[in-house]
Amino acid sequence: MYDIVIIGAGPAGLSAAIYARRAAKTVLLLEANSYGGQIVNTPDIENYPVEEHISGFEFAMKLYTQATNLGAQLKFERALSIESAGDKKVVKTAKGAYEAQAVIIATGAENRKLGVEREDDMVGKGVSYCATCDGAFYRNKAVAVVGGGNTAIDDAVYLADIAADVYLIHRREEFRADSATVQKLKEKENVHFVLNSTVSSLVIENKVVGVEVSDKEGNTQTLAVDCLFIAVGRIPENQAFADVLSLDAEGYAEAGEDCITAAEGIFVAGDNRAKEVRQLVTATADGAVAATNAVKYMNSLS
Ligand code: NAP
């Protein structure tokens, strides 16, 4: 039996592990994929206090090292359910069942699909959700990025230094991304803004060779690109725990800034929690708050 099982080893989960270990609680982290979460796909983080520039990969490595050096245990297993048994919680995976006094769900969010025909078939053949993973394949080629949030704009900035041309396709005139990052993109000479437009289809000849784009007036144009990088937001990964969590209309877990859910002993931290600001710094802060409240909860049991 562990004191705390933390589901998800992204910035929120790893930060929770640091706080829980420093409170001398035993911690098991369960991670379905690789540790670090979505931030590993961010090429250059410029808005985390103290670090003027750090890659998402390096950030994740440091956080992982810090948590495991403090004694947090990590297993690469997908949590499938949480059950209550008296004061205990049981987290089940395909390999086993792990008992704990408290559970912190820090599962984050997965990439939202754009919804164009043959999108799934073309992953790895000119459709990508990760500029830092796949950008290097398109050196001196033309690529497109779709989206208007921080991820899309960061990706386009990154790709502009690799590709010959970058088309930034966004369905509106205004961006969700912060203005400093948008300004940085505007300064890139090889970036072409295709605004008020959506991707209507992929042009495919065994692999992607272009995208067809339609504007609000119904005009279409074909952009000759070798890859479409899709960055149209994320979907919270709470479905497996829908029976113990209360989810809002978009699937985010309802819990206040204290990260306490309606289910006793279950806490939620990071991008899968319903909240206003989803940033790296708020994910790590959630981890600290959730772990602190989980420790308080455990101490109240004894
Ligand atoms: P996001 O902020 O939700 O932006 C998603 C973008 O995709 C929006 O511009 C949206 O358009 C567009 N979109 C959604 N569905 C679409 C569709 N079907 N077709 C075309 N466009 C579509 O998502 P994100 O950029 O992944 O960022 C997620 C969170 O992480 C945000 O809070 C962001 O600030 C944060 N983040 C922070 C950093 C950083 O701090 N360095 C880096 C990356 C991400 P509309 O604007 O018209 O809705």
pLDDT digits 0-9 by tens, 220-238: 999 999 999 999 999 999 9
Q: For ligand 1, say whether the CB of 92 is within 6 Å of any of its atoms.
A: no
Chain Cα centroid distance, residue 5: 20
Please name the residue that has the structure tokens 């959506």: 198
Contact 274, 261 (CB under 8 A): no
- What residue owns the CA closest to ligand 1's atom 28? 233
Rounded to 5 degrees, φ, ψ at 218 are: 90, 5
CB of 125 closer than 6 A to ligand 1?
no
Ligand 1, atom 26, residue with closest C-alpha? 233
CA of 145 to the centre of ligand 1 (A): 12
The structure's pTM equals 0.82
pLDDT band of residue 267 (cuts 50, 70, 90) is: very high
Residue in this structure with the two tokens 């497996």, named with its chain if needed: 240
State whether the beta carbon of 279 lies less than 6 angstroms from ligand 1.
yes
55 touches ligand 1 (CB under 6 Å): no
- CA torsion 140-144-145-147 (nearest 10°) is 160
Residue 136 in tokens: 């290097």
Residues 156-176 have pLDDT tens digits of 999 999 999 999 999 999 999
Confidence (pLDDT) at 43: 81
Which one-letter amino acid corresponds to residue 254?
A: E
Contact between residue 103 and residue 17 where contact means Cβ atoms under 8 Å apart: no
Which one, of 231, 235, 239, 234, lies nearest residue 7 by Cα?
Answer: 239
Task: Name the β-bridge partners of 88.
Answer: 85
Dump pLDDT digits (tens) for 177-213.
999 999 999 999 999 999 999 999 999 999 999 999 9
pLDDT in tens, 90-144: 999 999 999 999 999 999 999 999 999 999 999 989 999 999 888 999 999 999 9
Confidence of residue 302 (pLDDT cuts 50, 70, 90): confident
